[in-house]
Every structure is written in C-alpha cells, then in structure tokens.
A and B are shown apart, each in its own frame.
Chain A
Amino acid sequence: MPRPLNDSQQSRLVVTTPPGSPDRAWLATGYAEVRAILGDDRFSTLPPAANASDSRRLIQPGNLLHYDAPEHTRMRKMLMPEFTLRRVRTLEPLVERVVTERLDALEHAGQPVDLISHFVWPTTSLVGCSILGIPRDDQAELARHIDTHRIDNPDREQREAAGNAYLSYLSKYMRQKRRKPGDDLLGRLIVEHGAELTEAELLGTATTLLASLIQNVAGTLGLGTLALLENPEQLALLLKRPELIDHAVEEVIRSVSVIAMASPRTALEDVPIAGRVIRTGETVACSLLGANGTTAPGEPKAPLDITRDNSGHMAFGHGIHYCIGALVTRMELRIAIAGLLERFPTVRLAVPPDGLRFSSRAVETLPVVW
C-alpha cells in the first residue's frame, strides 16, 4: 500500500522575521498551511505596500506571478488557449521528434555521456523555443544565456551580460513578431491580443515563458531522471510496467519540486491560518518542497514510489497561480523519460551519486552508461 503524502501531523507555520526588520515575516512548510495560503485570495503575490517604492522595479510586466486578480485573470486568459490539454497534445509530435533526435545523438556520442548537456538541455530548449517560434539557429545560444543567467551563477558580470543578451535578443524578436506574427504561441498572442498588451507586457510574457519552459522543465527532467537512477527498484518497475509512466512522471515532479519556494505572498487583510493570524502587510514564504514531503532537490524525504497516489502534490503550486505550463511539463517529461528508457533500458549512473554537483534547481551533469 503506497503511503499517503500529506504530512499534517505538525502545524508548520513559523515566524522568521529577519533581525531589525520592522515587518513580521512567516515561513510555511506544512502541507495544510501552504495549501491554505496559496489558495486564499486574501494573499497577494505583489510586494507589500510598505516597500512598494523599493520593490516596484521587481515587478515584471508580463510575468503572471507579478499580478493579482483582476489583472491576473485578464492576462492569464489571453495565454490559456495555448496551454489546454488539446493544444498540448498537438505539441506531442514535436517533442517526440526532438527526443528521438537527441536519443540518436546520445547513441552516437558514446559512453559515458552527460545526459544534461546531450539530452536534457537540448531537448527542453529545442521544445521551448519551437513552441514560441524562435528560429532553430538561435535556440542553442538563447538556451546558453538562460543557463548562464541562472540565479546561482557566482560570476555576477557574466550573469548580467547573459541576462542582457537574452533580453536584447527577445526584444528584437518581439519587434519582428509585431510586424510578422507567424503561427506560434507568441504570434497568435499578438494577432489575438496585440492591441491590449504593451511592449513591456509582451516582452515579459516571452522572457518568462521561455525561461520557464527551458529552465524549469530541464531542472525537473534532470533531477527526475536522477531520482529514477538512484532508485533502481522503481526504475526496474517502470521498465517492467511502462504503463506506469504517467504515475512515474507525477511522482518525479513531486519528489523534485523544482520550484522549492512559491513566490512570497503578502496578506491583504488579517488572515487566520492554523491557529495563528498573519496580519495585513506581513509576508509569508511557502515551501513547496516542504509541503510535498521532500527536503532538498534530488533528495526526496518521502521515498520515490511510482505507484503512489500523490494527487494533491503542489509542485506546480496551488490556487490561481497554478503553473500554466503544467500540462506541457508532464507531456515533455513523459515522452523524454519513456523514450530514454525504451532506447537505453540498462541506463545507469557512471559516477557515484556523491560526486554529482547541484545548482539551485538542477543537477549540473549526469554522466551515464548503458
């Protein structure tokens, strides 16, 4: 019998105000608390009013996580048709083609081979760019900018240069799209809603979607593949029963919880949660990783169990900001993991797991043999 996931044995909502800070801050790590907060309209994803003058610049137009209702509703509605189950199914042939190409490349590369640089990143960047209509010739470079710009790159100058190159490529690209939209996500968005969106909103939509489609999916696919490789019985079970793939993907998504913390929420009024009261203007950080029963990326506390009913996990968030790309992520992971295991059923790590290096949302390399 698979063990249930939700741990509400303890109420886990604590005050974490930094010393000297005038405003009380909270951290929620329990399932019930995180679920209650993320599902409650009385919490805003905008910075607290007291800091508005400082934080205003942090608000990115076009990033759905930086809007509350009703603006959020308006923005999300424009993008929703691109992320329905039917639309996502039309993307399957694209993903299958990309995955097959990358598996061929792996086969030619010889062993051991790094799955991150030869499979995970090329797959997610080709798919992400293709969905947004970005020309194939530019895809590798753009994906490199995203990787270099990641938050834990210690080289600040390099990081900023990559961020600027990414922005400047996409602003030029969006100007071209305004003139000649084309039949892809951004093209259709411009045709349908171009008049309602500012340049900044369109650019923000493009930069947020592309970075999420590449970085978050790559992080989940890399760490998720590692989770399977580190759990040989689970891997063997999936090889024996390939029909479990959807379950396996959902479990991998839960155990990785690549977005460890939800965007901070600020109380718009006093909200009682778990016997305490979060006061107006106080912020609360919600740990999706904690709520999902894990402790750190790649280290599931609740052991990976691909037969588990993990319905209700919050790796994609909860409430109105539930990840708009969840269906794309599931589909891409399903095709990539099933394809990898079908082509290389004896795939295994080529190095001891302790030798692997991790960044904030990814495993950096994943050398394998088969």
Chain B
Amino acid sequence: MEVRVDRDRCAGSGLCVSYAPEVFDQSEDDGKVLLKEPLPGTGAAGAVRAMAARCPTGAITVHGHGHAHGHGHGEPAAPREPSEAV
C-alpha cells in the first residue's frame, strides 16, 4: 500500500495524525498533513484506509492493491457502506 497526501487540499483537521500517528504528522507552521510513512506496513493499513475515507477534503489517497479491499487508482476511499439503516 502506498499513501499519498495532497497538501493543497488539506484543511488541517488533524484527524489523520490523531488516529494514525505512525503514518501521518501535522505541520506546526500551517497545520497541514505531513506524510511520515508513505509505505505503511499491513498493521497500519486499516487505520490508513479509514483516514482516507474520513479526511474532510479527500486529501489522503491510498494506492496499490495490497489487500482484498484495496481502493487504488488514486481515488479517495469511499465512505463505509451501510449494511443497515439506522
């Protein structure tokens, strides 16, 4: 899995650095995302995909099909599909 970030899109929500600090960091100058680990190991894959889905501006993309549910193609991951209405 390869992670890419688009600093121009980033709104500095800090979600990614809060939930996946081993992969993402946040600049102290502009609050925008910094990529600490572009090739995270399998252990971080779930958190990274969740952050790609959750990022408010779609600034995080996941590339490559290392896993059964790889999104790839540089698209922001889709939000989790519901299986039941609430």
Interface residues of A (CB under 8 A from B): 3-9, 31-32, 35, 39, 76-77, 80-81, 83-88, 293, 301-302, 309, 311-312, 316-322, 324, 326-327
CB-CB under 8 A for A311 and B86, given A6-B79, A86-B28: no
Bound complex: CA A145 to CA B85 (Å): 42
The answer to the question of B18 belonging to the interface, with a C-beta cut-off of 8 Å to chain A, is yes
A281 to B35 Cα, complex, angstroms: 38
Contact between B79 and A35, CB atoms less than 8 A apart: yes
Give Cα A85 to B53, complex, Å: 20
Whether A81 and B57, one on each chain, are in contact in the complex, defined by CB atoms closer than 8 angstroms, is no
Determine the residue in chain B with the shortest Cβ distance to A35: B79
- Smallest CB-CB A-B distances: 4 pairs: A80-B31, A322-B56, A302-B86, A9-B85
Which residues of the other chain, B, contact A320 by a CB distance below 8 angstroms?
11, 56-57
Task: Count chain B CB atoms within 10 A of each CB in A3, A4, A312 and give the residue with the most.
Answer: A4
* Complex CA–CA separation, A32 to B50 (angstroms): 17
Q: Is the interface of A mostly helix, strand, loop or mixed?
A: loop
Q: Does B4 have its Cβ within 8 Å of any Cβ on chain A?
A: no
Point out the residue from B17, B29, B58, B80 that lies within 8 Å of A4, measured CB to CB: B80
Identify whether the interface residues of B are mostly helix, strand, loop, or mixed: loop
A322 touching B30, Cβ below 8 Å: no
Contact check, B31 vs A8: say whether CB atoms are below 8 A apart: no
- Which listed residue, B14, B30, B31, B86, touches A3 by the CB 8 Å rule? B86
Give B contacts to A, CB under 8 Å: 11-15, 17-18, 26-32, 50, 53-54, 56-58, 79-86
Does A83 contact B14, Cβ atoms closer than 8 Å?
yes
Q: Please tell me if the beta carbons of A39 and B12 are within 8 angstroms of each other in the complex.
A: no
Q: Assuming the A-B contacts A85-B14, A311-B54, A320-B57, are A4 and B31 also in contact, with contact meaning beta carbons closer than 8 angstroms in the complex? A: no
Q: Which residues of A contact B26 (CB under 8 A)?
A: 84-86
Contact A4 B86 (CB under 8 A): yes
What A residues does B56 contact at CB under 8 A?
39, 316-320, 322
CB proximity of A69 to chain B, nearest CB, Å? 10
Q: Are A327 and B86 closer than 8 Å at their CB atoms?
A: no
Selected from A81, A312, A317, the residue in CB contact (under 8 A) with B30 is: A81
- Whether B57 and A312, one on each chain, are in contact in the complex, defined by CB atoms closer than 8 angstroms, is no
Docked Cα-Cα span, A84 to B34, in Å, equals 12
Q: Which residue of B lies closest to A83 (CB)?
A: B31
A31 vs B66: C-alpha distance when bound (angstroms): 29
Given contacts A80-B30, A81-B31, A311-B50, contact A326 B85 (CB under 8 A): no
Contacts of A9 in B (CB 8 A): 82, 85
Q: List 28 A-B contacts (CB under 8 A).
A: A4-B80, A4-B81, A4-B84, A31-B79, A80-B12, A80-B32, A81-B28, A83-B12, A84-B14, A84-B26, A84-B28, A84-B31, A86-B26, A88-B14, A301-B86, A311-B50, A311-B80, A312-B54, A312-B79, A312-B80, A319-B11, A319-B57, A321-B11, A322-B11, A322-B56, A322-B57, A326-B14, A327-B14
